[in-house]
A = this chain, B = another copy of it.
Amino acid sequence: MTTSGTADDRGENRRLGLHLDRSSPVPMYHQLAEQLESAIRDGILRPGETIENEVSLAQRLDLSRPTVRHAISALVTRGLLIRRRGVGTTVATDFLPQAGGVTSLFDELTVQGYAPATKVIRLVYGELDQRIALRLKLDPHTPLIALERLRLVNGTAVAMLRNWLPLDLPDLSAAHLESTGLYEFLGRRGIVAAATQQIIGSRAATTDERRLLDLGRSDSILTVTQLACAADGSTFDYGEHIYRADRYQFRVTHQAA
């Protein structure tokens, strides 16, 4: 434990928007990571700029070095910072604006204020489908909720989503799905994905799919099959989704170890 910092420290803290709330239940390393991220996104820390070294930062913020390191590691993993031994930690070049994992243009559209809408085409309880049950690694006779939705942006369909869930959700209604989204609905019932796997591919669209998405002769579709797995290892959702390729792309970023 050191003193709580000099006047200069407090000035620098203000510049970067760093102010830790020790009474908050939010972990210190998380508060710090979030505030560093904000500083980067707001341009206070510029791409290529070297940030303060770990020891000094820890001292100034009255944290231990492992805690500061934990915060920085989180941002390194997500690609916002780059650490180099013997050199320092720098802000990544801005070509990785949403680094870390997969982002879809659709998510980004949503963030940017376009209003996506959902239309439920089919909602069936207790459907039996051996192929799907096997995908879910369940007994072939497991009853499933079958779900088919159309995703629209500005009134035009951009994706068709088919999902199957081996769950008992009597209060799942089309209205719910059109207003809140499937995963939000599940989350409110304590069902959260600990891990998901997606396989991205492409194939020719069927005539039904062409009609639903209003596809022309030369339009392409992207296919995504998805499996979601709860914390206890059980699978609770299998999805087969298709997207208009002219409206949807996947962005994948990777950081070296």
A interface residues, Cβ below 8 angstroms from B: 47-48, 66, 77, 79, 82, 84, 90, 92-93, 95-96, 99, 101-102, 137, 192-204, 218-222, 227, 229, 231, 233-235, 245-246, 248-256
Contact = CB atoms under 8 A, between A and B. Distances in A.
Contact of A192 (B66, B249, B256): B256
A229 B94 CA distance: 11
22 contacts: A48-B233, A66-B66, A84-B231, A93-B234, A96-B195, A96-B229, A101-B254, A102-B254, A192-B256, A196-B254, A197-B252, A198-B252, A199-B249, A200-B252, A201-B248, A202-B220, A202-B221, A203-B220, A204-B218, A220-B220, A220-B221, A250-B250
Nearest to A256: B194
Nearest to A197: B253
A214 to B, nearest CB: 16
Contact of A199 (B99, B199, B235, B251): B251
Contacts of A255: 194-195
A248 B223 CA distance: 12
Nearest to A99: B195
Nearest to A221: B202
Nearest to A255: B195
Contact of A197 (B47, B96, B234): B96
A221 B223 CA distance: 12
Given A82-B233, A196-B254, A254-B196, A249 B201 contact: yes
A47 B197 CA distance: 16
Contacts of A249: 199-201
Given A82-B195, A253-B195, A245 B93 contact: no
A197 B101 CA distance: 10
Given A195-B253, A201-B248, 12 more contacts: A66-B66, A90-B233, A93-B234, A95-B235, A101-B252, A193-B256, A194-B255, A200-B251, A200-B252, A202-B202, A220-B220, A250-B250
Contact of A92 (B199, B220, B233): B233
A102 B252 CA distance: 8
Given A202-B221, A220-B220, A235-B93, A196 B227 contact: no
Contacts of A203: 220, 245-246
